[in-house]
Structure 1
């Protein structure tokens, strides 16, 4: 018994010592993290070149898994440094890192990342900097693209593509990285030519025999292989291989070997092709490049299927699936694996398994098509957006030209008036001439002031007032048409049909559909920022229909107008308001 007690005490003592050491290690870890962060900030402060300073900030870690508290803590010194030095670029870089950090934390597009991108955009609008504006658009576009919000990414890449013709590339932070983002997007939507152009623009900024340059050369070869002859792509692959061998970079040697294997296979040297891909898999796994190993296993499996080596093909498919993760990026590869397994099952005469894998393939394909649009459709949408954007630019140029012409005309008019005044001075008495000139000058000043006031009033007249006026005018028109129907009900059938058609057409354009509500809400939120969102945050029971009532009520529309807009009876509107009043309580009156 005594021995047992001593054993227990000794065990407890060992556990205490163990936890003491664990606690000490954790304290030292967090202290060292703080010290490392302090050193990073000190190093950034010491950098005198503004561009290099921004690049140093953008290279800081912003990935802290789901720990957003640690994210804020680690990046707060950057914000403080930006405020101390009144540095717009540093503040912009801080917002970029915060947006990145939240996207990693949520592993999806999210409101917090969007908000930080908006902060950065507003900052650049207030302090124009075309280089940072372009990079901000690239990063926000790539953020949407990575999470397969391809259509949402279009406007940002479109704006960045336009700005690229008007910026100084030497002032761009991390040009290689950001041009690679552009190239990835354009390759995805099927515009390999533009993707290759961006990679060529990045080449001068990559050091010879560096990983960045090898990656660029390899990507150029891959993109060229889609639409161009083999020799053109092979030329860049050989150049990439030469630089990888010069750098003694085993990982890239393996990757490029895998890419060159495709050409050996097409040339009929299948044994060499298989050996090259095996080398790629071995090097990728050895140097922790699982995604490349996964893709190489799929390629090798497809070749074994071609040779009817079913068991070898199955082995490499299983190896590939082992390296896949449950993320949107891997959907395409899971689909390819399912298709290959169906082919293997067919070759082995396993019909039930073949049907199982074909079913999985179809499900994955449908899921992939829901997440990523068909490339041709995306390309058409891109071209449409580009055309729309170009039209907007042309319209803006025409407006500027019109304003310029107006100023020229006004200048000419002022010169003519001045000449007339001089002529009058020469022909009339001095006092009358001077008085007339003063009166004319005052009149011009008044006209100018009036024009300024009118311009301010025009700016203040936003789309909401136009919407309200339109609604009220439509209400009047609808009532008039209804009254005409009542008057002519039994007299002129043709006229009645025409009036009914007009009434129906007007009602269709008048009713607030979901699409119109979305556009209306966008405008409303700009005029009354956070009004609807605050209501929704403060009152969880509020529905989307309640928000519509609140918005229309804010515009002081009558129950009748709301009834026509929402296609609800006036009594229904009143009841909706009563329900809303109960939900909001005292807030409803205020």
Structure 2
């Protein structure tokens, strides 16, 4: 829509797009239409006008009600630059202040006409002597602009002017030379002419009058040939200053008079007209031309009133206002940060307290479960101990018969199996030791062995006698395995009672078979050695 050059085409194009737009898009299109229409009126009338002012103000009021940061920046910038173009710096300031704030919180790629928006903001801030801010915007704009574009030269030129204002003539000259090269590459004759004029300003600051004069005459020639009256006027004004500085009064008067005539034809060039009149007044005062002096003083008084908004004092007031607003904004931003930090600290404190409460509750719950497990464990230990006592009590009351021993050994095996399972479940070192101690207490003691052996001899005297006579070399360990298995215990049950592994019992039996060979079948010896 920016390419539309007349109001009718703009309205027609907008109507077509509105037919397909959502409600949100309708609002945005209406704002864009008003901004573009305001710009068309401004270019058509070539002056500050009520129609454009009203359209810009309506667009800005509406754009603040929608959540589209890029559109807000674009509308603020366009409205601000309208006021700026006609030297209404005080009115332009609020718009550029808002756009500059918003530009801190959006990436350049999200901007609408990013290069143009950044460039216009840079122009304004360089006018109010915020050169560093202007330079930053111009560098951002360069990254969004093709070197094949004429706008690239505009940005380089603006950078040169910022550095010249900062009295950095070396940097200024570098950017003006780059501007000249870009303009030549893109066949932008007027930008090339302006670059020559700006290089002349650098030479004037160095008092290289001849070189500066040559550059300005080239600037004027190109501007005249291409019909750019404004740039011609500006170059003539610079040339008039140069002649005045070097003492060529006649040339200065002629050149400044020509520049003044064009500046007087445009209401928004009164500042340049005033500058021309001030220089001409100095010339006629030196020449003691009282009649011309009186006329120029009257003209200057009139221009002082007309240029009240664009003189240095007015701009200084705007700069001061901007700086105050910036300080206020930074204070508000800092306050918002502090409030956010305070809220964050409060949140972390509450979260920490909640976490602490959760940890305490988990710990209490854990301790409670631990106590319950310990209670259960103690109950099991008591149960195992009680069963052990009962089993031993039964053996004592049963007169130590083989049958009672067999029952006793079966119960022992059951209790040992249960204890081994509990040991596998338990993780606590103290509890494991307690269970193992209890398990060891269930193993056959020397006393129990003697009682068992005595009972076996009494009930199986013949078998025991033949066993000892045929195998006198049998050790007590051998006898324990043979006699226990003779009563019917399995390898596993035997290992439990003796406190050894099942594999140890099997190996002991293998050694007996190997040692006694065919003799092992005596009295059924083989049946429990297999």
Name the TM-score class by shorter chain: 0.5 to 0.7
1:60 aligns with 2:11: no
In the alignment, is residue 380 of structure 1 matched against residue 320 of structure 2? yes
In the alignment, is residue 235 of structure 1 matched against residue 174 of structure 2? yes
> C-alpha distance in 1, partners of 2:54/2:309?
22
Q: Measure the CA separation in 2 of the matches of 1:189 and 1:347.
A: 33
What is the distance in 2 between the residues matched to 1:328 and 1:399?
Answer: 49
The 8 Å contact of residues 264 and 270 in structure 2, kept in 1 or not, is answered as no
Evaluate the alpha carbon distance shift between residue 91 and residue 192 of structure 1 in structure 2; reply closer, same or farther with a 3 A threshold. Answer: same
Aligned-pair distance for 1:182?
A: 0.7
Distance 1:395 1:131 in 2: 25
Q: From 34, 38, 49, give the equivalent of 1:107.
A: 49
Question: What is the aligned counterpart of 1:396 among 332, 336, 348?
Answer: 336
**1:227 CA displacement:** 1.4
Q: Which residue of 1 aligns with 2:253?
A: 314
CA-CA distance at 1:283 after TM superposition: 1.0
Distance in 2 between the 1:192 and 1:385 partners? Answer: 17
What are the residue-to-residue correspondences of 1:157-236 with 2, within 5 Å?
157-236=96-175
Residue number in structure 1 paired with 2:82:
143
The change in CA–CA distance for 1:78 and 1:320 in structure 2 (over 3 A counts) is: farther
Q: What is the distance in 1 between the residues matched to 2:34 and 2:339?
A: 34
Task: Extract unaligned runs of 5+ from structure 2.
Answer: 363-530
Report the alpha carbon displacement of residue 90 of structure 1 after superposing the two structures with TM: 4.3
TM-score (norm 2): 0.59
1:271 is the counterpart of 2:210 = yes
Q: Aligned residue for 2:303?
A: 364
Q: How far does residue 388 in structure 1 lie from its aligned partner after superposition?
A: 1.0
CA shift in 2, pair 1:291/1:79, >3 Å:
farther
Query: Structure 1 residues 200, 78: closer, same or farther in 2, change over 3 A?
Result: same
Distance 2:31 2:3 in 1: 14
Deviation readout 1:126-167 (Å, 9 max, x if unpaired): xxx333332233223323333444333333322322322321
**Gap change, CA 1:98 and 1:394, over 3 Å in 2:** farther
8 Å contact from structure 1 (residues 98, 116) kept in 2: no
Q: Which runs of 5+ in 1 are unaligned?
A: 1-56, 423-590
Secondary structure of 1:318's aligned partner: helix
Which residue pairs with 1:120 in the alignment? Answer: 63
Report the equivalent of 1:93.
32
- For the residue of structure 2 that corresponds to 1:110, the secondary structure is helix
Pairwise CA RMSD: 3.5
Cα pair 1:78 1:91 within 8 Å, conserved: no
Verify the 8 A CA contact 2:18 2:29 in the aligned structure 1.
yes
Give the superposition deviation at 1:327. 4.7
How far apart are the structure 2 equivalents of 1:116 and 1:144?
Answer: 14
| Cα offset, 1:418, TM superposition | 10
**Hey, what does 2:228 align to over in structure 1?**
289
Are residues 1:76 and 2:15 paired? yes
Distance 1:194 1:161 in 2: 9
TM-superposed CA distance for 1:183, in Å, is: 0.9
**C-alpha displacement at 1:199, in angstroms?**
0.9
- 165 and 278 in structure 1: CA distance in 2 versus 1, 3 angstrom threshold: same
Matches within 5 A, 1:449-488: none
Q: 1:99 to 1:387 in 2, by over 3 A?
A: same
Q: How does 1:411-422 map to 2 (within 5 A)?
A: none
Question: Per the alignment, in what secondary structure is the counterpart of residue 386 of structure 1?
Answer: helix
Distance (Å, rounded) in 2 between the aligned partners of 1:326 and 1:81: 46
Once the two structures are TM-superposed, the CA of residue 294 in structure 1 deviates from its matched residue by 0.8
Shift of 1:331: 1.5
> Is this contact kept in 2: 1:83–1:91, CA < 8 A?
no
SS in 2 for 1:123: coil
Q: How many Å apart are 1:290 and its aligned residue? A: 1.6
- Distance (whole Å) between structure 2 residues aligned to residue 155 and residue 358 of structure 1: 35
Change over 3 Å in CA distance of 1:408–1:283 after alignment to 2: same
**Which entry has the higher C-alpha Rg, 1 or 2?**
2
Select 1:332's aligned residue among 258, 266, 271: 271
Cα drift, residue 287 of structure 1:
1.5
C-alpha distance 94-409 of structure 1, shift in aligned 2 (>3 A): farther
